[in-house]
Amino acid sequence: MDPRLLPDNPYLLLTPGPLSTSKGVKAAMFRDWCTWDEDYNALVQDIRKQLVRLAGGGEELTAVLMQGSGTFCVESVIGTAVPREGKLLVLSNGAYGARIGEIARRLDIPLHLEDFGELEPPRPEDVARILAADPAVTHVAVVHCETTTGMHNPVADIGRAVKDAGKVFIVDAMSSFGGIPMTMAGIGADFLISSANKCIEGVPGFGFVVAAREEMEKLEGRARSLSLDLYGQWKEMEDKGGKWRYTSPTHVVRAFATALAELEAEGGVALRHARYSKNHHTLVSGMNRLGFECLLAPAYRSPIITSFLCPAWPGFTFTRLYEALKKRGFVIYPGKVSVADTFRIGSIGQVFPEDMERLVEAVSMSGLAE
Ligand SMILES: *Cc1c(COP(=O)(O)O)cnc(C)c1O
Protein backbone atom coordinates (compact mmCIF):
# COMPACT_ATOMS: atom_id res chain seq x y z
CA MET A 1 0.00 0.00 0.00
CA ASP A 2 1.07 3.58 -0.66
CA PRO A 3 2.92 4.58 2.57
CA ARG A 4 1.30 8.03 2.42
CA LEU A 5 -2.13 6.44 2.70
CA LEU A 6 -3.40 4.58 5.74
CA PRO A 7 -6.88 3.28 6.50
CA ASP A 8 -7.43 6.48 8.47
CA ASN A 9 -5.71 8.57 5.84
CA PRO A 10 -7.40 7.51 2.64
CA TYR A 11 -6.80 10.44 0.28
CA LEU A 12 -4.07 12.71 -1.06
CA LEU A 13 -4.51 16.42 -0.45
CA LEU A 14 -4.26 18.36 -3.70
CA THR A 15 -4.87 21.59 -1.82
CA PRO A 16 -2.68 24.59 -0.99
CA GLY A 17 -2.13 23.52 2.62
CA PRO A 18 -2.48 21.50 4.68
CA LEU A 19 -0.79 19.17 2.22
CA SER A 20 -0.03 15.50 1.95
CA THR A 21 3.07 15.03 4.08
CA SER A 22 5.67 12.28 4.24
CA LYS A 23 5.62 9.44 6.71
CA GLY A 24 8.71 10.94 8.36
CA VAL A 25 6.99 14.28 8.94
CA LYS A 26 3.96 12.59 10.47
CA ALA A 27 6.12 10.24 12.55
CA ALA A 28 8.02 13.18 14.08
CA MET A 29 4.82 14.14 15.90
CA PHE A 30 4.10 10.70 17.30
CA ARG A 31 5.34 11.34 20.82
CA ASP A 32 5.24 14.02 23.51
CA TRP A 33 7.84 16.70 22.98
CA CYS A 34 8.97 19.11 25.66
CA THR A 35 9.50 22.79 25.12
CA TRP A 36 11.84 25.44 26.63
CA ASP A 37 14.93 23.27 27.24
CA GLU A 38 18.27 23.51 25.47
CA ASP A 39 17.63 20.67 23.01
CA TYR A 40 14.46 22.26 21.79
CA ASN A 41 15.84 25.80 21.66
CA ALA A 42 18.87 24.58 19.70
CA LEU A 43 16.52 22.96 17.20
CA VAL A 44 14.66 26.26 16.80
CA GLN A 45 17.96 28.09 16.24
CA ASP A 46 18.94 25.55 13.62
CA ILE A 47 15.62 25.99 11.83
CA ARG A 48 16.06 29.78 11.83
CA LYS A 49 19.54 29.39 10.30
CA GLN A 50 18.25 27.01 7.66
CA LEU A 51 15.48 29.42 6.70
CA VAL A 52 17.99 32.24 6.28
CA ARG A 53 20.11 29.94 4.11
CA LEU A 54 17.10 28.91 2.02
CA ALA A 55 16.42 32.62 1.44
CA GLY A 56 19.96 32.96 0.10
CA GLY A 57 21.34 34.94 2.99
CA GLY A 58 23.96 35.12 5.69
CA GLU A 59 24.46 37.49 8.61
CA GLU A 60 22.54 40.30 6.92
CA LEU A 61 19.32 38.29 7.24
CA THR A 62 17.48 36.91 10.23
CA ALA A 63 14.45 34.66 10.74
CA VAL A 64 11.69 34.46 13.29
CA LEU A 65 8.96 31.85 13.82
CA MET A 66 5.44 32.85 14.89
CA GLN A 67 2.58 30.73 16.24
CA GLY A 68 -0.61 30.49 14.20
CA SER A 69 -1.51 30.01 10.55
CA GLY A 70 0.11 32.03 7.79
CA THR A 71 -2.28 34.96 8.18
CA PHE A 72 -1.13 35.46 11.79
CA CYS A 73 2.38 35.93 10.46
CA VAL A 74 1.25 38.38 7.78
CA GLU A 75 -0.64 40.32 10.45
CA SER A 76 2.41 40.36 12.71
CA VAL A 77 4.59 41.78 9.93
CA ILE A 78 2.08 44.44 8.80
CA GLY A 79 1.19 45.39 12.37
CA THR A 80 4.82 45.64 13.48
CA ALA A 81 6.75 46.87 10.44
CA VAL A 82 4.63 49.86 9.41
CA PRO A 83 5.19 52.76 11.84
CA ARG A 84 2.39 55.10 13.07
CA GLU A 85 3.44 57.73 10.54
CA GLY A 86 3.79 55.14 7.75
CA LYS A 87 1.50 54.18 4.87
CA LEU A 88 1.10 50.80 3.24
CA LEU A 89 0.62 50.21 -0.48
CA VAL A 90 -0.87 46.79 -1.22
CA LEU A 91 -0.61 45.51 -4.79
CA SER A 92 -3.54 43.14 -4.91
CA ASN A 93 -4.71 40.64 -7.49
CA GLY A 94 -6.61 38.14 -5.43
CA ALA A 95 -8.02 37.20 -2.04
CA TYR A 96 -4.66 37.06 -0.26
CA GLY A 97 -3.71 40.55 -1.43
CA ALA A 98 -7.15 41.77 -0.35
CA ARG A 99 -6.58 40.13 3.04
CA ILE A 100 -3.38 42.17 3.58
CA GLY A 101 -5.49 45.27 2.90
CA GLU A 102 -8.09 44.08 5.42
CA ILE A 103 -5.37 43.59 8.05
CA ALA A 104 -4.20 47.19 7.51
CA ARG A 105 -7.77 48.51 7.78
CA ARG A 106 -8.40 46.64 11.05
CA LEU A 107 -5.17 48.01 12.48
CA ASP A 108 -5.94 51.57 11.32
CA ILE A 109 -2.84 51.64 9.16
CA PRO A 110 -3.09 54.23 6.35
CA LEU A 111 -3.65 52.14 3.25
CA HIS A 112 -3.43 52.48 -0.49
CA LEU A 113 -4.90 49.33 -1.98
CA GLU A 114 -4.31 49.02 -5.69
CA ASP A 115 -6.50 46.33 -7.21
CA PHE A 116 -5.23 44.79 -10.45
CA GLY A 117 -8.20 42.45 -10.85
CA GLU A 118 -7.78 38.70 -10.61
CA LEU A 119 -6.45 37.94 -14.05
CA GLU A 120 -3.48 40.29 -14.44
CA PRO A 121 -0.27 40.70 -12.42
CA PRO A 122 0.86 44.07 -11.05
CA ARG A 123 3.48 45.42 -13.47
CA PRO A 124 6.65 47.17 -12.32
CA GLU A 125 5.89 50.27 -14.42
CA ASP A 126 2.50 50.57 -12.68
CA VAL A 127 4.19 50.24 -9.31
CA ALA A 128 6.69 52.99 -10.16
CA ARG A 129 3.83 55.25 -11.33
CA ILE A 130 1.71 54.61 -8.22
CA LEU A 131 4.65 55.26 -5.90
CA ALA A 132 5.53 58.49 -7.70
CA ALA A 133 1.92 59.67 -7.33
CA ASP A 134 1.63 58.75 -3.63
CA PRO A 135 4.85 59.75 -1.88
CA ALA A 136 3.34 59.14 1.58
CA VAL A 137 3.73 55.37 1.01
CA THR A 138 6.54 53.91 3.13
CA HIS A 139 5.92 50.15 2.75
CA VAL A 140 4.77 48.03 -0.20
CA ALA A 141 3.26 44.55 0.09
CA VAL A 142 2.57 41.98 -2.60
CA VAL A 143 1.72 38.28 -2.78
CA HIS A 144 4.27 36.19 -4.69
CA CYS A 145 2.00 33.36 -5.82
CA GLU A 146 -1.64 34.40 -5.56
CA THR A 147 -3.12 31.14 -4.38
CA THR A 148 -6.59 32.46 -5.34
CA THR A 149 -5.83 31.85 -9.00
CA GLY A 150 -2.36 30.30 -9.06
CA MET A 151 -0.94 33.56 -10.51
CA HIS A 152 2.85 33.85 -10.32
CA ASN A 153 3.44 37.58 -9.76
CA PRO A 154 6.70 39.08 -11.13
CA VAL A 155 7.98 39.78 -7.68
CA ALA A 156 11.63 40.49 -8.59
CA ASP A 157 10.63 43.15 -11.14
CA ILE A 158 8.18 44.67 -8.68
CA GLY A 159 10.89 44.59 -6.01
CA ARG A 160 13.24 46.62 -8.21
CA ALA A 161 10.57 49.31 -8.67
CA VAL A 162 9.93 49.36 -4.90
CA LYS A 163 13.63 49.57 -4.07
CA ASP A 164 14.23 52.28 -6.73
CA ALA A 165 11.61 54.32 -4.89
CA GLY A 166 13.33 53.63 -1.54
CA LYS A 167 10.40 51.83 0.13
CA VAL A 168 10.34 48.81 2.44
CA PHE A 169 9.20 45.70 0.55
CA ILE A 170 7.04 43.00 2.18
CA VAL A 171 6.46 39.78 0.23
CA ASP A 172 3.82 37.19 1.08
CA ALA A 173 5.65 34.15 -0.29
CA MET A 174 3.42 31.86 1.72
CA SER A 175 2.59 29.42 -1.03
CA SER A 176 5.88 29.63 -2.95
CA PHE A 177 8.86 29.73 -0.54
CA GLY A 178 10.68 26.40 -0.70
CA GLY A 179 8.91 25.47 -3.95
CA ILE A 180 10.15 28.20 -6.27
CA PRO A 181 13.80 29.28 -6.16
CA MET A 182 14.13 32.81 -4.76
CA THR A 183 16.50 34.84 -2.64
CA MET A 184 15.77 37.92 -0.54
CA ALA A 185 18.35 39.88 -2.54
CA GLY A 186 16.99 38.59 -5.86
CA ILE A 187 13.47 39.80 -5.15
CA GLY A 188 14.48 42.89 -3.16
CA ALA A 189 12.46 41.80 -0.12
CA ASP A 190 12.96 43.27 3.34
CA PHE A 191 10.38 40.93 4.89
CA LEU A 192 9.40 37.59 3.40
CA ILE A 193 6.57 35.60 4.96
CA SER A 194 5.77 31.90 4.64
CA SER A 195 4.40 29.06 6.74
CA ALA A 196 5.14 25.52 7.85
CA ASN A 197 2.44 23.81 5.84
CA LYS A 198 3.16 24.91 2.28
CA CYS A 199 6.16 24.13 0.07
CA ILE A 200 8.47 23.06 2.92
CA GLU A 201 5.83 20.33 3.41
CA GLY A 202 5.36 20.48 7.17
CA VAL A 203 2.03 20.61 8.99
CA PRO A 204 0.03 23.71 10.03
CA GLY A 205 0.75 25.52 13.31
CA PHE A 206 3.25 28.29 12.73
CA GLY A 207 4.58 30.67 10.13
CA PHE A 208 7.93 32.35 9.71
CA VAL A 209 9.43 35.60 8.54
CA VAL A 210 12.83 36.08 6.96
CA ALA A 211 13.90 39.69 7.29
CA ALA A 212 16.76 42.05 6.61
CA ARG A 213 18.37 42.24 10.06
CA GLU A 214 18.76 46.00 9.72
CA GLU A 215 15.00 46.42 9.13
CA MET A 216 14.07 44.05 11.96
CA GLU A 217 16.23 45.98 14.40
CA LYS A 218 14.19 49.13 13.72
CA LEU A 219 10.91 47.61 14.90
CA GLU A 220 11.13 47.89 18.67
CA GLY A 221 7.95 49.31 20.20
CA ARG A 222 6.04 49.50 16.92
CA ALA A 223 3.73 46.49 17.29
CA ARG A 224 -0.01 47.08 17.59
CA SER A 225 -0.52 43.68 19.26
CA LEU A 226 1.13 41.78 22.08
CA SER A 227 0.96 38.21 20.80
CA LEU A 228 1.69 39.26 17.21
CA ASP A 229 4.61 41.53 18.09
CA LEU A 230 7.11 40.42 15.46
CA TYR A 231 9.96 42.31 17.09
CA GLY A 232 9.15 40.97 20.57
CA GLN A 233 9.13 37.42 19.26
CA TRP A 234 12.35 37.95 17.31
CA LYS A 235 14.15 39.61 20.23
CA GLU A 236 13.21 36.71 22.53
CA MET A 237 14.48 34.12 20.04
CA GLU A 238 17.56 36.15 19.30
CA ASP A 239 18.56 36.94 22.90
CA LYS A 240 17.44 33.69 24.51
CA GLY A 241 18.85 31.25 21.99
CA GLY A 242 15.69 30.08 20.25
CA LYS A 243 13.10 30.59 22.97
CA TRP A 244 9.49 31.37 22.02
CA ARG A 245 7.53 33.92 24.06
CA TYR A 246 4.41 31.78 24.57
CA THR A 247 3.61 28.08 24.20
CA SER A 248 5.21 26.94 20.99
CA PRO A 249 3.77 24.29 18.66
CA THR A 250 6.54 21.85 19.60
CA HIS A 251 5.24 18.89 17.59
CA VAL A 252 4.75 21.00 14.51
CA VAL A 253 8.24 22.46 14.90
CA ARG A 254 9.72 18.93 15.17
CA ALA A 255 7.81 17.90 12.06
CA PHE A 256 9.06 21.01 10.29
CA ALA A 257 12.69 20.15 11.13
CA THR A 258 12.12 16.76 9.51
CA ALA A 259 10.49 18.44 6.51
CA LEU A 260 13.54 20.71 6.08
CA ALA A 261 15.85 17.69 6.16
CA GLU A 262 13.67 15.98 3.56
CA LEU A 263 13.76 19.09 1.35
CA GLU A 264 17.56 18.94 1.51
CA ALA A 265 17.51 15.19 0.73
CA GLU A 266 15.30 15.81 -2.30
CA GLY A 267 18.04 18.06 -3.68
CA GLY A 268 16.88 21.43 -2.36
CA VAL A 269 14.48 23.99 -3.75
CA ALA A 270 15.62 23.60 -7.39
CA LEU A 271 14.68 19.92 -7.52
CA ARG A 272 11.50 20.41 -5.55
CA HIS A 273 10.55 23.13 -8.02
CA ALA A 274 11.26 20.71 -10.87
CA ARG A 275 8.95 18.10 -9.29
CA TYR A 276 6.16 20.62 -8.71
CA SER A 277 6.52 21.90 -12.28
CA LYS A 278 6.26 18.37 -13.61
CA ASN A 279 3.19 17.78 -11.43
CA HIS A 280 1.63 20.97 -12.78
CA HIS A 281 2.37 20.18 -16.43
CA THR A 282 1.16 16.61 -16.10
CA LEU A 283 -2.04 17.89 -14.51
CA VAL A 284 -2.69 20.61 -17.09
CA SER A 285 -2.02 18.47 -20.13
CA GLY A 286 -4.17 15.67 -18.75
CA MET A 287 -7.06 17.97 -17.85
CA ASN A 288 -6.81 19.69 -21.23
CA ARG A 289 -7.09 16.27 -22.88
CA LEU A 290 -10.35 15.80 -20.96
CA GLY A 291 -11.65 19.17 -22.16
CA PHE A 292 -10.95 21.32 -19.07
CA GLU A 293 -9.47 24.79 -19.59
CA CYS A 294 -7.22 26.83 -17.30
CA LEU A 295 -8.32 30.22 -15.99
CA LEU A 296 -4.95 31.91 -16.56
CA ALA A 297 -2.74 32.28 -19.62
CA PRO A 298 0.28 29.92 -19.48
CA ALA A 299 2.78 32.73 -18.79
CA TYR A 300 0.96 33.68 -15.58
CA ARG A 301 0.63 30.19 -14.10
CA SER A 302 2.67 28.89 -11.17
CA PRO A 303 3.55 25.27 -10.44
CA ILE A 304 1.84 25.59 -7.03
CA ILE A 305 -1.86 25.46 -7.77
CA THR A 306 -3.92 25.59 -10.96
CA SER A 307 -7.37 27.12 -11.48
CA PHE A 308 -9.62 25.36 -13.97
CA LEU A 309 -12.83 26.79 -15.39
CA CYS A 310 -15.93 24.83 -14.41
CA PRO A 311 -17.20 23.49 -17.72
CA ALA A 312 -20.73 24.27 -18.90
CA TRP A 313 -21.43 20.71 -20.01
CA PRO A 314 -24.55 19.06 -18.58
CA GLY A 315 -24.32 17.42 -15.16
CA PHE A 316 -21.04 19.04 -14.14
CA THR A 317 -20.89 20.66 -10.72
CA PHE A 318 -17.84 21.20 -8.53
CA THR A 319 -19.49 19.31 -5.66
CA ARG A 320 -20.06 16.25 -7.83
CA LEU A 321 -16.47 16.29 -9.04
CA TYR A 322 -15.22 16.79 -5.48
CA GLU A 323 -17.20 13.83 -4.16
CA ALA A 324 -16.25 11.57 -7.05
CA LEU A 325 -12.55 12.33 -6.63
CA LYS A 326 -12.61 12.02 -2.85
CA LYS A 327 -14.00 8.50 -3.23
CA ARG A 328 -11.08 7.76 -5.55
CA GLY A 329 -8.44 9.11 -3.13
CA PHE A 330 -7.98 12.79 -4.06
CA VAL A 331 -9.15 15.95 -2.36
CA ILE A 332 -9.30 19.03 -4.58
CA TYR A 333 -10.15 22.65 -3.77
CA PRO A 334 -13.05 24.95 -4.63
CA GLY A 335 -12.47 28.12 -6.65
CA LYS A 336 -12.05 31.53 -5.10
CA VAL A 337 -12.24 34.03 -7.95
CA SER A 338 -15.21 36.33 -8.43
CA VAL A 339 -14.96 36.73 -12.21
CA ALA A 340 -15.45 33.08 -13.17
CA ASP A 341 -16.70 29.75 -11.88
CA THR A 342 -13.54 27.77 -11.14
CA PHE A 343 -12.04 24.96 -9.12
CA ARG A 344 -8.43 24.49 -8.06
CA ILE A 345 -6.01 21.61 -7.94
CA GLY A 346 -2.76 21.93 -6.01
CA SER A 347 0.49 20.30 -7.10
CA ILE A 348 2.53 20.75 -3.90
CA GLY A 349 3.21 18.37 -1.01
CA GLN A 350 4.23 14.72 -1.19
CA VAL A 351 2.61 14.40 -4.59
CA PHE A 352 4.32 13.16 -7.75
CA PRO A 353 3.68 13.18 -11.51
CA GLU A 354 2.30 9.60 -11.31
CA ASP A 355 -0.29 10.87 -8.82
CA MET A 356 -1.33 13.54 -11.30
CA GLU A 357 -1.73 10.89 -13.98
CA ARG A 358 -3.90 8.84 -11.61
CA LEU A 359 -5.90 11.94 -10.77
CA VAL A 360 -6.59 12.68 -14.44
CA GLU A 361 -7.65 9.06 -14.83
CA ALA A 362 -10.00 9.48 -11.85
CA VAL A 363 -11.51 12.63 -13.38
CA SER A 364 -12.00 10.75 -16.62
CA MET A 365 -13.68 7.85 -14.77
CA SER A 366 -15.93 10.20 -12.79
CA GLY A 367 -18.36 10.58 -15.65
CA LEU A 368 -18.04 14.34 -15.25
CA ALA A 369 -15.49 14.89 -18.01
CA GLU A 370 -16.51 15.69 -21.57
C1 LIG B 1 -1.97 29.98 2.57
C2 LIG B 1 -1.74 31.40 2.28
C3 LIG B 1 -1.79 32.38 3.29
C4 LIG B 1 -2.11 32.06 4.73
O5 LIG B 1 -3.31 31.46 4.89
P6 LIG B 1 -3.65 30.74 6.27
O7 LIG B 1 -4.97 30.12 6.00
O8 LIG B 1 -3.70 31.78 7.32
O9 LIG B 1 -2.54 29.76 6.52
C10 LIG B 1 -1.46 33.68 2.96
N11 LIG B 1 -1.12 34.01 1.71
C12 LIG B 1 -1.06 33.11 0.71
C13 LIG B 1 -0.66 33.55 -0.66
C14 LIG B 1 -1.39 31.77 0.95
O15 LIG B 1 -1.33 30.88 -0.04
Looking at residue 6, its pLDDT comes to 67
172 lines ligand 1 (CB under 6 A): yes
- Ligand 1 atom at shortest distance from the alpha carbon of 197: 9
Choice from 195, 206, 304, 305 to test ligand 1 binding pocket (greatest atom count within 8 A of CB)? 195
The number of the ligand 1 atom at minimal distance from the alpha carbon of 143 is 13
HSE-up of residue 189 (Cα within 13 Å, Cβ side) = 31
Ligand 1 contact via 17 beta carbon (within 6 Å) = yes
With left for phi above 0 and alpha for psi between -120 and 50, is residue 136 left, alpha or beta?
Answer: alpha
Rounded Cα distance between 35 and 54, Å, is 25
**Ligand 1: which of 13, 145, 147 to mutate, judged by most atoms within 8 Å of the beta carbon?**
147
DSSP 218: G
**Number of CB atoms found within 10 A of residue 229's CB:** 22
Q: How far is the CA of 69 from the centre of ligand 1 (A)?
A: 7
pLDDT in tens, the chain (370 residues): 676 776 677 899 999 989 999 999 999 999 999 998 999 999 999 999 999 999 999 999 999 999 999 999 999 999 999 999 999 999 999 999 999 999 999 999 999 999 999 999 999 999 999 999 999 999 999 999 999 999 999 999 999 999 999 999 999 999 999 999 999 999 999 999 999 999 999 999 999 999 999 999 999 999 999 999 999 999 999 999 999 999 999 999 999 999 999 999 999 999 999 999 999 999 999 999 999 999 999 999 999 999 999 999 999 999 999 999 999 999 999 998 888 999 999 999 999 999 999 999 999 999 888 7
Report the C-alpha gap between 92 and 100 in whole angstroms: 9
Q: What is the CA radius of gyration of the chain?
A: 21
Residue 85, pLDDT score: 97
Domains of the chain: 12-21+268-365 (3.90.1150.10), 29-264 (3.40.640.10)
Establish whether residue 71 lines the binding site of ligand 1, counting it when its CB lies within 6 angstroms of any ligand atom: yes
The CB of 303 under 6 Å from ligand 1? The reply is: no
